[in-house]
Amino acid sequence: MQLAVVGLNHNTAPVEVRETLAVAEAVLEELYGDILQNDRIYEAMVISTCNRVEYYIVTDDFLCNVDSVLKIIAEQCKIDRSILQKYTYIHCGEESVRHIFRVAGGLDSLVMGEPQIFGQVKDAFENSRKFGAAKTFIRKLEEFVIKTTKKVRTNTGIGDNPVSVSSAAVELASKIFGSLEDKHALVVGAGEMCEIACKHLRGADIGGITVTNRTFEKAEKLAAEVGGKAVPLDQFREELSHADIVLSSTGASGYMIEAADIKPVMIKRKHKPMFFIDIAVPRDIDPAVADIENAYVYDIDDLKAVVESNKKLRQKEAVKAMEYIETGVADFYRWVESMKIVPVIKALRESFDEKRMLELDRFCDKFKVADAGERRKLEYLLSAFMNKVLHTPLNNLKDLAPGKERYSLDEAVKIIFDLKE
Amino acid sequence: MHFDFALGAAILAFIHITLYLFLGSRYLQHLTNLFAVLAFLLFMGSIATHWKHFGHFPSYSLGDLFAMVSMTLTLIYLILFMKYRRPLLGLFIFPIVIILGALVLVLPSAAPKDAAGISSIWLLIHLPFTVIGTAFFMFATVASIMYFLQERELKRKNFGIIFKRFPPLNQIDRLTAVNLILGFYFFSVGLISGFVWMIYEPERIGSILPKMIFAVITWVIFGLITYLKKYRGMTPRSTAYSTLAGFISVVVTYAGVAFFLMG
């Protein structure tokens, strides 16, 4: 049995194709039913996010069965097979296991190292179990994926350095103020960028947010969304002395905040640091503000530079992450190899059990043992003896099964039965 | 012998904190603290051995004083680490400990033949309080330098090692303020007890006066910085420059006076 994956993602397919193939939770039960109708597909799991749709199957004939999965997808999504084949990738065996580890660790994501995908992969495993599509292989795979991804996220900095403009701004604010819990932000503008930035600031547990905008209603709406207060645009300068962070993104043609506005504010604030984030083009904050002591001004280009540098850092961390993933894949395959011996162990036990019962019956007939209690005692004795005899060889078989070593017959017997030279 | 090992441990702590700055591994941070604890214990052991050997607390030479300052700096580093988790203070403090330690090895440390130990309770108060106060002032200076460096990175938009490893500006500023207040408190008590001691032993005024004058100058500088910072909102950059001036005054008080004015 081996794992195979057929799927598409942001690198291989445009959004129109991805949205056509996206799997709604409502159809999952039916979909799993269709996939498992194929006798040669033993287990399955489907991951569907905005950037990827992937079908994982456990099968013994991957070429033939991947084809059947493609057929199901084409029928389900009413899409031509040739179009589907154009955008999909197929991995099999170790490569497919490596792929799921990479996906869960965020190494295959559009934003490298993003953490949400781990939750989505865990949900996919849970759904597979819920609809009876996960048995031994997928369940064990889930265990290894979770364990390895946790290691990746804990021991590498894959998710440490923010790679969006808003989160980079929040990181910079943390570098100035440490905790933002007792800090106040003044947001000038109520457009999309301000909205995203406000949410990031809220996520960083900022003490308070004041929103101002040319259209006061919009300011009120955004303030209500982020649990802040709104002030009319003509009054926002009065709020400056309370603001530790000033974020501006308006469509104004001139500067909204000039150096002359900030100098008296700084005296009023006893020179406590102020962080200005200017994400407007043309700029809202006079660059001369940066010349004032303890005022830090970052415009959109500065923040983009931070993002680019952080992306490079994440790339470096991805190399470290891959080391953990390779270890995870190797560990998982050791388990897979050890599983190959399970039918042999099972058959051996059954054969011994059969012989044990046969000998017991023969003994009871020969020596006329009719008492049920006596028979149970004999059965216990034989069973204990058999377990004792089988314990060492079965353990050795399990331990040695994943290894690649070759032994001669006499060597194998000596090793399995722990025989001394 | 204890002192040599203590100095060795301080050097190892410095090496590990420097590696931590570049590599950022937590193990290096733990090793730094381990060597700092070791250095502190060995400094203490060295002072205790010295005490036992001469039969009284070693407080007669500049070497004795530097040994005490080295031990106190290491101890305060450990206390501040436990409270604020900022190991990079050690990047600046351990070199001071190492320099002072090296001077201890060079300077003569034998007590005068007629030394009879600390004769006055006022000297017993003066000595540790002044040393602890000085150590806190040194930490305030170090924190100011760190602020200065981190602020420069943020202004220049340079996101290198300093930006990544140094603490946020607000935390460094708080560290400076805490060290200034604690330093001022201990140094004030040390200075007052020193004055009282002088009243009781007026025959020593002549030899101690230059040191006392510079100690008062140090006290005034740091007192002024503490006041301006707490009540007048002194800017962190001005604080950094002022604490550096105060640090120079500390150096002059301890070393300059002793070397050149024979205090």
Report ipTM for this prediction. Answer: 0.81
Asked whether B171 and B150 are in contact (CB, 8 A), the reply is no
Select which of A50, A64, A92, A364 is catalytic.
A50
Question: Amino acid identity of A316?
Answer: K
Of A176, A269, A298, the CB nearest to B169: A176
Gap from B170 CA to chain A (nearest CA, Å): 5
Q: Nearest to residue A382, comparing CAs of A401, A369, A397, A400?
A: A369
* CA A81 to mean position of chain CA atoms: 29
Token digits of residue B7: 């100095």
* Minimum Cα–Cα distance from B162: chain A residue: A175
Q: Report how far residue B25's alpha carbon sits from residue B11's, in angstroms, rounded to the nearest whole number.
A: 19
Asked whether B88 and B21 are in contact (CB, 8 A), the reply is yes
Of B154, B233, B236, the CB nearest to A175: B154
pLDDT (tens, 9 = 90+) of chain A, 421 residues, equals: 889 999 999 999 988 888 888 888 888 999 899 888 888 889 999 999 988 999 999 988 777 677 888 888 888 777 888 888 889 999 988 999 999 999 999 999 988 888 889 999 999 999 999 999 999 999 999 999 999 999 999 999 898 888 888 888 988 999 899 999 999 999 999 998 899 889 889 988 999 999 999 999 999 999 999 999 999 999 999 999 999 999 999 988 889 999 999 999 998 988 889 999 999 988 999 999 999 988 999 999 999 888 888 888 899 999 999 999 999 999 998 888 888 888 888 999 999 999 999 999 999 999 988 888 999 999 999 999 999 999 999 888 888 887 778 888 888 888 888 887 6
Gap from B188 CA to chain A (nearest CA, Å): 27
Gap from A33 CA to chain B (nearest CA, Å): 50
* Minimum Cα–Cα distance from A302: chain B residue: B157
Asked whether B52 and B29 are in contact (CB, 8 A), the reply is no
If interface means Cβ-Cβ distance under 8 Å, which residues of chain A face chain B? 172, 174-178, 269-273, 290, 293-294, 296, 298, 302, 305-306, 309
Name chain B contacts of A293, Cβ cutoff 8 Å: 235, 237
Question: Amino acid identity of A176?
Answer: I
- Beta bridge partners of residue A47, listed in sequence order: A54
- Taking a contact as any Cβ pair under 8 Å apart, which residues of chain B between 166 and 185 contact chain A? 167-171
Tokens 């500067």 belong to which residue?
A: A255
Q: Does the distance separating the beta carbons of A273 and B169 come in below 8 Å?
A: yes
H/E run at residue A184: strand A184-188
Name chain B contacts of A272, Cβ cutoff 8 Å: 233
Q: Is B236 on the interface with A (CB under 8 A)?
A: yes
Tokens 């200005």 belong to which residue?
A: A276
A:B CB pairs within 8 Å: 42
What pLDDT is recorded for position B6?
Answer: 93
H/E run at residue A89: strand A89-92
Could you tell me how many residues make up chain A? 421
The crossing angle, in degrees rounded to 10, of helices A62-77 and A28-36 is 150
Q: Report how far residue B223's alpha carbon sits from residue B229's, in angstroms, rounded to the nearest whole number.
A: 10
Maximal C-alpha separation, chain A? 112
Q: Report how far residue A247's alpha carbon sits from residue A234's, in angstroms, rounded to the nearest whole number.
A: 16
Asked whether A202 and A209 are in contact (CB, 8 A), the reply is yes
Asked whether B130 and B65 are in contact (CB, 8 A), the reply is no
Name chain B contacts of A302, Cβ cutoff 8 Å: 157
Gap from A269 CA to chain B (nearest CA, Å): 8
Report pLDDT digits (tens) over B84-123.
988 999 999 999 999 999 988 887 765 555 555 556 788 8
Q: Does the distance separating the beta carbons of B170 and A294 come in below 8 Å?
A: no
What pLDDT is recorded for position A148?
Answer: 96
Q: Does the distance separating the beta carbons of A272 and B233 come in below 8 Å?
A: yes
Asked whether B11 and B98 are in contact (CB, 8 A), the reply is yes
Instruction: Indicate the SS3 state at residue A279.
Output: coil
Of B168, B232, B233, the CB nearest to A176: B168
Go through B176-210 and write b for each residue having 16 or more CB atoms within 10 A of its CB, e for each that does not.
Answer: bbbbbbbbbebbbbbbebbeebbeeeeeeeeebeb
Strands A41-48, A295-299: pairing is unpaired
What pLDDT is recorded for position A336?
Answer: 87
Q: Report how far residue B201's alpha carbon sits from residue B211's, in angstroms, rounded to the nearest whole number.
A: 16
Strands A208-213, A184-188: pairing is parallel
What pLDDT is recorded for position A183?
Answer: 95
What pLDDT is recorded for position A111?
Answer: 86
What pLDDT is recorded for position B263?
Answer: 42
Asked whether A211 and A230 are in contact (CB, 8 A), the reply is yes
What pLDDT is recorded for position B204?
Answer: 72
Asked whether B72 and B135 are in contact (CB, 8 A), the reply is yes
Q: Does the distance separating the beta carbons of A177 and B168 come in below 8 Å?
A: yes
Q: Does the distance separating the beta carbons of B154 and A176 come in below 8 Å?
A: yes
What pLDDT is recorded for position B119?
Answer: 63
What pLDDT is recorded for position B159?
Answer: 84
Token digits of residue A349: 């036990």
pLDDT (tens, 9 = 90+) of chain B, 263 residues, equals: 678 999 999 999 999 999 999 988 889 999 999 999 999 999 999 989 888 887 777 777 778 888 999 999 999 999 999 999 889 999 999 999 999 999 888 877 655 555 555 567 888 888 899 999 999 999 999 999 999 899 999 999 888 899 889 999 989 989 999 999 999 999 999 999 988 988 887 777 777 777 788 889 889 999 999 999 888 778 878 888 888 888 888 888 877 666 654 44
What pLDDT is recorded for position A284?
Answer: 94
Gap from B212 CA to chain A (nearest CA, Å): 34
Q: Nearest to residue A277, comparing CAs of A245, A250, A253?
A: A245
Asked whether A328 and A144 are in contact (CB, 8 A), the reply is yes
The verdict on whether A194 is a catalytic residue reads no
Q: What is the DSSP string of A193-261?
A: HHHHHHHHHHHTT-SEEEEEESSHHHHHHHHHHHT-EEEEGGGHHHHGGG-SEEEE----SS-SB-HHH
